[in-house]
Structure 1
Amino acid sequence: MATRTWTKYPYFEEETSADVVIARMGTDIDPRLRQVMTAAITHLHAFVKEVRPNHKEWLAAIQFLTRTGHMSTDWRQEYILLSDTLGVTMLVDAINNSHGDGATENTILGPFYVENPPHYPNGTNICLDGKGEPLVVRGRVLDTDGNPIAGATIDAWQTNEDGFYDVQQKGVQPEMNLRGIFTTDADGRYWFRTVKPRFYPIPDDGPVGQLLAAMGRGPNRAAHIHFKVKAPGLEEVITHVFPPDCPYLETDAVFGVKETLIGDFRHVDDAAEAARLGFTNPYWALDWDFTLARAK
């Protein structure tokens, strides 16, 4: 008769369900995978025991995740959107980017970042469709000691006046509309021309949008300009800057707003300066410095 080797949790029972599943993991697996899966299984089983879904509800949850996967494409990642709207993306970012040293705060990258946008001279206007209220952005890149950083790159991108990124309107917007990289001069200064950002809804025609509506939440993101700022020897910063007059600062659909990232957007009435900038008068101006921490 064959000898059976008994484990502590050989059979499934509700009371010890998580322990039964965890005990089935092999002995020679990656330690970090063991740690992650142990926590995931423990919390998932605790969630199910707390909620106690019936079979119809659990099937609905599985179907929701299935639709989320089917909705994802090369340029629209519905699972990222789900992570964003549940606040998980911001939580992961906060865990990994807690400087505490005066550096500019991070926020989420977002799903519409595009690699290798045009690299422009300072002062270039990145608004290619001519829509929106003109805005000039000026500032410096500094380290946490206040020293200017020459040669830092500022990668900026935003939606157009209609509330869409160029990749959402291929064939409608000019390619690489409202995107560009700029490099700081010897004094750490940069500047470029664009348009005042406006709020916009995240894509809400899929399962994530349906979930938001069911929870009584809106899909709108607060108006913002995205920035990715980096320089050799310094920590990269991925962040937004928000205008203070946006009505969605406190209800941003992806929890991306931090108080330190609300900029002073000034409404300027100066016909001569507007003409020099190639703007209609009046226009908007934003002075914004980025502070980068030393690389760890």
Structure 2
Amino acid sequence: MPETSSTAAAALMPSVTAAQAAVEQELVDTVVASFDNTEDPRLKDLMQSLTRHLHNFIREVRLTEEEWNAGIAFLTAAGHITDENRQEFILLSDVLGASMQTIAVNNQTHKTATEATVFGPFFVNDAPGIPVGGDIAGDAAGQPCWVEGTVTDTEGKPVPGARIEVWEADEDGFYDVQYTDNRVAGRAHLFADQDGKYAFWGLTPTPYPIPHDGPVGRLLEATHRSPVRASHLHFMVTAKGLRTLVTHIFVEGDPQIDIGDSVFGVKESLIKRFEPQAAGTPAPGGRNLEGQEWARVRFDIVLAPATS
């Protein structure tokens, strides 16, 4: 005789009788069926699948009412701390690896296309524009860094006019939006030139913790996980007919890469050498760095077709 859904569930939960499993499965079936009249087929599929997985989680771990209440309180706290500059639910998605899994599903590998990684919570629309060779740092503190490269498609053809959004934290580990003085620093956009080339001055990235003074931080503390992100510089690259790329580059030799990036964003192909330059080394564009040490890095960007 084939197994029924209730007996199969009981087999997965040996402490549960077949009768109890049947009661629980009946509820699952009822809730799933409640979405049967959903007109949008995609919404129907999402809600019914979510229901099955959520109920299976509750049943597998035998969730207590106290744990359920704690979960609701956690999500409520995440909502309360979220504002226009801080998105605690993105942080939660990031530290659970859900953000990276969604990115993996939606950015399938295609030939030599640059790999995507997490968006993060600190992107801001309408960042100022700079010319090729301009400076994104503004007044942000940190070691100057020259970033250059090309934007091509997977056939090696340059992508002139590709829009490149870049943003990063300062040497203290803060993005401009985390300050209260409305500063704009460490972010800008520019366009690749007719040969697909781009370049700008930024800052050499340093490790920093994600905001951990809220519920997500308390979760990480309770599970003995570090909130620190590996040193990185954010990019978002868009061009007509090509897949939008959201990615970072990471600093070769950063110890945090081996310790672990708190949002699982590091990919081997995105680790780049930031070459240190001694004080007095001539800087691109004739920039006067007044005896400062600086760094330089090359990041060639390859965009996949929009349909890949």
Using the size of structure 1 for normalisation, the TM-score is 0.90
Distance 1:25 1:125, change over 3 A: closer
Contact 1:271 1:282 in 2 (8 A): yes
Provide the C-alpha distance between the structure 1 equivalents of 2:134 and 2:195, rounded to a whole number of angstroms: 19
Letter in 1 for 2:277: V
**Which residue of structure 1 aligns with residue 294 of structure 2?**
283
Gaps of 5+ in 1: 1-11
Secondary structure, counterpart of 1:242 in structure 2: strand
Distance 1:112 1:149, change over 3 A: same
- Seq. identity, %: 43
Distance 1:211 1:272, change over 3 A: closer
Moved more, 123-132 or 275-284: 275-284
Counterpart pick for 1:218 among 216, 226, 247 = 226
Contact 1:17 1:45 in 2 (8 A): no
Secondary structure, counterpart of 1:249 in structure 2: helix
**Which residue of structure 1 aligns with residue 192 of structure 2?**
184
Distance 1:272 1:34, change over 3 A: closer
**Which residue of structure 1 aligns with residue 120 of structure 2?**
110
Cα deviation code 1:205-264 (max 9, x no counterpart): 111110111111011111111001122222111110000122222411111111111011
Deviation at 1:82, TM superposition (A): 0.6
Cα deviation code 1:87-119 (max 9, x no counterpart): 001101110011322111111111110111111
Secondary structure, counterpart of 2:201 in structure 1: strand
Gaps of 5+ in 2: 1-21
Deviation at 1:197, TM superposition (A): 0.7
Deviation at 1:295, TM superposition (A): 2.2
* 1:194 maps onto 2:207 in alignment: no
Deviation at 1:165, TM superposition (A): 0.4
Deviation at 1:131, TM superposition (A): 1.9
**Which residue of structure 1 aligns with residue 10 of structure 2?**
none
Secondary structure, counterpart of 1:228 in structure 2: strand
* 1:232 maps onto 2:240 in alignment: yes
Deviation at 1:153, TM superposition (A): 1.7
Letter in 2 for 1:52: R
**Which residue of structure 2 aligns with residue 263 of structure 1?**
272
Distance 1:20 1:277, change over 3 A: same
Contact 2:140 2:186 in 1 (8 A): no
Letter in 2 for 1:49: R
1:43-82 alignment runs, 5 A limit: 43-82=53-92
Distance 1:48 1:248, change over 3 A: same
Using the size of structure 2 for normalisation, the TM-score is 0.87
1:199-210 alignment runs, 5 A limit: 199-210=207-218
Contact 1:156 1:228 in 2 (8 A): yes
**Which residue of structure 2 aligns with residue 42 of structure 1?**
52
Distance 1:272 1:214, change over 3 A: closer
Letter in 2 for 1:236: T
1:8-157 alignment runs, 5 A limit: 13-129=23-139, 131-157=141-167
Contact 1:166 1:176 in 2 (8 A): yes
Letter in 2 for 1:186: Q
Provide the C-alpha distance between the structure 2 equivalents of 1:14 and 1:188, rounded to a whole number of angstroms: 59
Letter in 1 for 2:252: P
Deviation at 1:179, TM superposition (A): 0.8
Moved over 3 A (4+): none
